Amino acid sequence: MLTSIKILAAAIFIVTGGAVFSEKYRKHGVLAILASIVSVMSAYYLIRSIKDDIVNEVETVAITSNKRADDFLSCENSYLIVTKQDPQCNFGLSDKSELMYNDQITEGSLTVIYENSGLKSARKIPSNMYVVYPQSPSGRYAFIQSCQFEENGIDYGLCWAPFIFDKKSRKIHETSAGKYGPERWINWSSDDRYAILSNKNEGAMWLHAIDATNGKTYSFPSDSPYPTWDGFHVIKIYSDTFAWRGPHTFAI
């Protein structure tokens, strides 16, 4: 409807504008004046409608851009809980507990190690849920905490198996971040190389620097020679004081 009105206004502008300069209208002053008024009014409406279209287009682009930015921020900087029935931000889980990203299966399955004193060795249980921590600055790497809760009538209540996922190579690396898994806290180096996590256990606290390229973990304090378990010299770390001092150095 609006497009038809614009076409009509343009036609009126052309006709009346041309009429003002025609020989017939110049002989009739009143008609020339009326044609001029109609021409000016149609031109004004046409220009205003074009201006409104431009403003609306800019606002639409801005809203779309902001929405995309908000979606990116909410996905890249949030803790995402992913299940087989409920994928999140392109992350999914196949029926065989394989990590899926962008509807494609990655290399390796997500499992949870189940310690059982009645078994000679720990066994691995397929994951039925995982948590994606806030991702690396570029979005390439993601730290994942694999979980296994109730399934087939058994309540495992396990949520401590950690992995690093590389979106570019589509590979996952097993890693470690404490006996019972890390806290909901992560700090990435500016170059994506290291993810710093923390875990608490019986009054003590550790920091874990995980190399995102291979999953190797460097823990502080190490098991030796720091006397963290003698009951008197438990080391306490306050993660809220964490600050990067360089690409791969930090203070706390």
User: Residues 77, 80, 86, CA angle at the centre, nearest 5°?
Assistant: 145
Would you state the pLDDT for residue 240? 79
Across 75-91, average pLDDT: 93
Edge-to-edge strands of the sheet including 204-211?
A: 186-188, 194-201, 204-211, 217-220
Indicate yes or no: pTM above 0.85: no
Domain ranges of the chain: 2-75, 77-251
Kindly report, residue by residue over 159-171, the tens digit of the pLDDT: 888 999 999 999 9
Would you state the pLDDT for residue 226? 47
CATH architecture label of 77-251: Beta Barrel (2.40)
Kindly report, residue by residue over 86-139, the tens digit of the pLDDT: 999 999 999 888 999 999 988 777 888 766 655 556 677 888 899 999 999 999
Q: Does position 235 have pLDDT exceeding 80, yes or no?
A: no
Q: What is the mean pLDDT of the chain?
A: 75
